[in-house]
Amino acid sequence: MYWERGLHMYKASAVVPTGYVRVGNTAPLCGEDTQRYASFWGDGYDVYRQLRWRQIPEKQRKAFKKAAKSKNTVMFAGREYGISKQNLSDVWDDFEDAMELKAFPCLSSLFLTKWHKNLYEYLEEYPFITRLCLENHGQTVLDFSNTRITDLSVDMTGVESLYLNEGLDSLNLKGEIKENCKVCTAGKGAGLILEVGKSVPKVRGLENLTAVNVMGIADFDMQNLSETYPKLKTIRLWGKPGNIANFSAVSGFEDLEVFTAVDLFGFGADDIPHPDRLPKLHRLWMSSLPEEAAKAVKKLYKKRKEDGLDPWIEKARKPEWLAQNFDNPFRDWDGAEHIPKSHAKKAAELYRKTRAGVVKLLGNPPENIGEGLAEAVKAYTGGFNKMDKKHFIDTVEREDIAEALETILDLIPDGSCADKEKLFEIFDKNRNF
């Protein structure tokens, strides 16, 4: 939320990014070293945030800083909390009136699963809430125009109009979006990042949208994106994995600066746009893509690296790899530097074997199906325990293993005598990673 006074330094690449203009030389501001790293050159955003902070009345800023360092506690929703609490969810701490949140002078992030009395009034009066996630609110009109939110995630089910505030950086749209829904924001989305799942909706009022992040793509049409939001400067796409149709339409984004595509296929060498069509591109990151397309990207954009392009092209996939791994939850392990290739293969085999065993049990369930499922979970967990003798399984890999198991256990129909929670307890009890 704010920085303590002092120098805040980052190490960045010595390569000048595309689009920067050299104006001269200047002596370093200091000779100190730092262990902080930045993935890109500064664009003035930190200075902008500091100026926004100074717009908050001094009395409120002082109260914020005092509470942030305080060890005092307050009572809220029948429980005792530190007054320095910064994040709150009504899932764990239910309340009726949003004004009750004033008990926490440092609160900056809210996760709400329903509409609360005086929510607008609280958000407009309290300037420190920068992140809001709102679900199941039941409103047809949402107006956040007088708030200071920078990161908004909102359930759009039933919403006809959404009014956004100046200074909003990121908008995450969830739920069902009405075809005639309108978003009202300054600049028609200029400077805004839109985050969505699977596909990009056509929303009135965002014609000048600057950036889009799309997760969990199965099928995606680049031509539709180009026609709907032609002024995009940043496009980041993550597949499930998935396929992209009309990939060559990327060349239609004349202002494109950043392009990322992960686990996406369906395009070839001929679909890669010539560098001349993307003169402002300074970051090109692609991971897990068709082999021929990867070769074409590396060849076409090799010289652009000298002009400041940041290229990262990895995990070129052959057609036979895709056929074998499209439904493999451990496909990201294949090609990871810290994971042996043999372990990536064993993980996929273990997943398929466990899934097949569970499907067989469910197809002709014995009386002791619970015992059979428990043994399957133990065998699954034990397989990864054996693989982890050299301790390559860390947080990300642990989550991959758990999520893969979850997809298997989701095959168990509701109402079954099998207890999914107990099966996960068996997993946690038996794992050594």
Percentage of the chain exceeding pLDDT 70 = 99
Place of tokens 């929670």: 421
For position 260, what pLDDT does the model report?
98
44-48, 51-55, 74-78, 272-276: least confidently modelled range: 44-48
Question: How many CB atoms lie under 10 A from the CB of residue 408?
Answer: 22
pLDDT at 328 over 80: yes
pLDDT at 6 over 80: no
Q: What is the pLDDT of residues 187-239, one digit of tens each?
A: 999 999 999 998 899 899 999 999 999 999 999 999 999 999 999 999 999 99
Beta bridge partners of 203: none
For position 389, what pLDDT does the model report?
87
Distance CA 346, CA 236 (A): 31
For position 1, what pLDDT does the model report?
52
Identify the DSSP state of 52.
H
Distance CA 379, CA 373 (A): 10
For position 39, what pLDDT does the model report?
76
In contact, 9 and 30? CB cutoff 8 Å = yes
3-state percent breakdown (helix, strand, coil) of the chain, nearest 5? 35, 20, 40
CA distances from 267 to 94, 261, 270, 314 (A): 49, 12, 8, 16
Six-digit token pair at 401? 């293993």
pLDDT at 295 over 80: yes
Question: How many CB atoms lie under 10 A from the CB of residue 206?
Answer: 26
For position 230, what pLDDT does the model report?
96
The average confidence (pLDDT) of the chain is 92
pLDDT at 146 over 80: yes
Distance CA 257, CA 112 (A): 35
Considering the entire predicted model, what is its pTM? 0.81
* Amino acid symbol at 394: D
pLDDT at 127 over 90: yes
